[in-house]
Amino acid sequence: MLSEIHPSLLVHKKITYLNMESCASLITLPNQIHMESLEELSLSFCYKLEKFPEIIGSMDCLYSLYLDSTVIKVLPISIELLSGLEYFSLKYCENLVSLPVTINGLKSLQLFILSGCSKLNNLPETLGQLEKLDELDLSGTAIRQSMASISLMKNLTELDFSGCKVHSKVQLPTLSGFYGSLTRLNLVDCNMEEGDIPNDFFDSFSSLTWLGLSKNNFVSLPGSINHLSKLEFLLLDGCKRLRSLPELPSNVISIYVDDCVALETTSNALRLCYSTLSEFSCLNCLKLICCNNLASSMPKEFLKAMAKPKERLRFEPINQFGMVIPGGEIPEWFQHQSETSSIKIERPLDSCDNKMVGYAVCCVFYVHESQCIALLRISCRVTSIVFANEPAIYFEDNCRKTMSDHLWLFYISAKELNQDFIELSFAQNYPGLELKKCGIHPVYKKELKELKPRAKKSSSSSFWNSYELDEDFLGSTADVDYDGVEDEDESYFSADDELPKPKRLRSS
């Protein structure tokens, strides 16, 4: 096993690539390094390596440096000589306590990863002089205080503070200088409580498209989140004290509020984003589903929105929709239902005035408590054909347990299932997932206008049974506008329409 190297190696003039990963017995390196042609150097997983050598002379060619999982405490002042460095990774350097002030010499640095440096509690002000820095990962560090240097990084697009909660909660940095640059902000698991997010905090993020606020302790969000006009992905899962959502921006694609067990109301949170929303997941949000406003407004608004293709800020138009909600019964308006995890139907025939445009699909599932670490997955497979994008849902965070049965409902375009017989089977990759029932329902263009809410005795297991569709209404999410057919009458989806109020879920 390699325990040392000859000093001549680190002054070689022609070597362009040097990989010494996983040299577990390597404790020290020669005191100096000067490799004029070196482009990439990796010392990752040298678990006993305590010191990086002094840099002598120019090493402009070096563009990537990996020091992950070493026991380096400090970097040499001469690090500034790596003026061509673009990628610098120090992941899980758990003994690293500080960065040198000469870090500003890394003029070409674009990606700086410090995740898991659990003893690093401050950054030098000179870090703000790295004008080309595009992504800064501070997840799992001990950094908690506001840093004016971050606001000086005019080109920074991704900032990750997730898991920065050592000793005390994170104090959000002053970010007003970002203006339109930041697109991704990760504040997951930062021990933030009510009032820790200032009311005007989101006012400066004109380009933010991804926002992670999961696993925090606040009760509400500031209304300024609605100013994030380009926001597409919002993660709030695991915010166990969150009670309500403010109105959300109109371009949101995905919303996750799984395990927000105190969430009672969305107010008008989803009102503006119905036309773009394609993913909504609320595992274990029993209080939310019991609320009249969600049960009465979400189905009709989604049905209206799914009748038209979505226009994304950064993606091609799509016509997909998926939702996970508490519920133990297949909605009664599903024409074909099975008490197993698979179902087969004959493809319905189109008529001259009534074209089938897709299928509504659903299954009922339950996640048992388990100790597994692997990622759990439920997928919907179609026999005899290859699915371009196989519908699937995932269960992360050590396989969270569901507190009741849940319903996964989504839409598949008829263009993807163009065959005489349609056979769907739901499968899971772990026995902790139990698949109980499934259903499929043809979606026709003509019947999209036939939604007729009427009073009906609701089931205690699913809020979808709190309203009923006309017997001719056969779907929820058709891609009718793709062939030029416009929705002639949207009045039946008026926001002022009232659907019957559901009964509350029966407590177990």
User: pLDDT by residue (tens digit) across 144-193?
Assistant: 765 667 777 888 999 999 998 754 566 665 555 555 689 999 999 998 99
* Confidence check: pLDDT of 452 > 50: no
User: Does the structure show a pLDDT above 60 at 405?
Assistant: yes
Q: What's residue 398's pLDDT?
A: 42
Neighbours of 176 (CB within 10 A): 12
State yes or no: pLDDT of 372 exceeds 80: no
Share of the chain above pLDDT 70, in %: 72
Give the integer Cα–Cα distance in Å for 215 and 197.
14
* Residue 334 maps to a domain: yes
Q: Does a structural domain hold residue 405?
A: yes
Residue type, 331: P
Q: Are 360 and 411 in contact (CB under 8 A)?
A: yes
- For tokens 């049965």, the residue is 405
Radius of gyration of the chain (CA): 27
So what's the pLDDT on residue 276? Answer: 77
- Which residues, in sequence order, are CB contacts of 394 under 8 Å at separation 6+? 375, 376, 377
| Domain contains 192 | no
349 pLDDT tier (thresholds 50, 70, 90): confident
Name the phi and psi angles at 424, rounded to 5.
-110, 140
- Given a cut of 50, is residue 496 above it in pLDDT? no
Q: Is residue 432 part of a domain?
A: yes
Q: Which residue has the tokens 């950094």?
A: 143
Residue 281 lies in a domain: no
Domain boundary among 112, 139, 166: 139
Rounded Cα distance between 117 and 94, Å, is 5
Give the whole-number percent of the chain exceeding pLDDT 90: 41
pTM of the model: 0.81
Give the model confidence (pLDDT) of 233-245 as tens digits: 999 999 999 998 9
* 270 vs 282, residue with greater confidence: 282
* Closest of 420, 415, 424 to residue 480, by C-alpha: 415
- Is the model more confident about 252 or about 490? 252
Q: Tokens 């499968």: give the residue.
A: 427
In angstroms, the CA 58 to CA 41 distance is 15
**Among 119, 139, 159, which residue terminates a domain?**
139
Structural domain contains residue 259: no
* Residue 150 maps to a domain: no
The first and second tokens of residue 383, run together, are: 């026999």
- Residue 431, pLDDT > 70, answer yes
For the cut 80, the answer to whether the pLDDT of residue 508 exceeds it is no
CATH of the domain at 88: 3.80.10.10
User: Higher-confidence residue: 208 or 507?
Assistant: 208
Residue 452 lies in a domain: yes
Which of 47-56, 99-108, 267-276, 462-471 has the weakest average pLDDT?
462-471
The pLDDT of residue 391: 76
Q: Which residue has the tokens 């659907």?
A: 499
Task: State residue 204's pLDDT score.
Answer: 80
As beta bridge partners, residue 135 has 111, 158
The pLDDT of residue 360 is: 83
**Could you tell me the residue range of the domain that residue 32 belongs to?**
1-139
Select the more confidently predicted residue: 271 or 501: 271
Average of per-residue pLDDT across 485-503: 32
**Mean pLDDT on 350-359:** 76
pLDDT at 306: 53
38 has pLDDT over 90: yes
Mean pLDDT, to the nearest integer, of 250-268?
A: 85
CATH of the domain at 347: 2.60.120
Confidence of residue 448 (pLDDT cuts 50, 70, 90): low
**CB proximity list for 406: less than 8 A, separation 6 or greater:** 283, 324, 325, 326, 327, 364, 365, 366, 367
pLDDT score recorded for residue 250: 86
Q: How many domains does the chain have?
A: 2
Among candidate residues 107, 139, 171, the one where a domain is terminated: 139
Q: What's the whole-number mean pLDDT along residues 365-378? A: 71
User: How would residue 290 be classed by pLDDT, with cut points 50, 70 and 90?
Assistant: low
DSSP string covering 49-115: ---PPEE-S--TT--EEE-TT-------GGGGG-TT--EEE-TT-TT-----GGGGG-TT--EEE-T
pLDDT at 505: 26
Higher-confidence position of 426 and 301: 426
Average pLDDT of the chain is 77
- pLDDT-derived band of residue 359, with 50, 70 and 90 as boundaries? confident
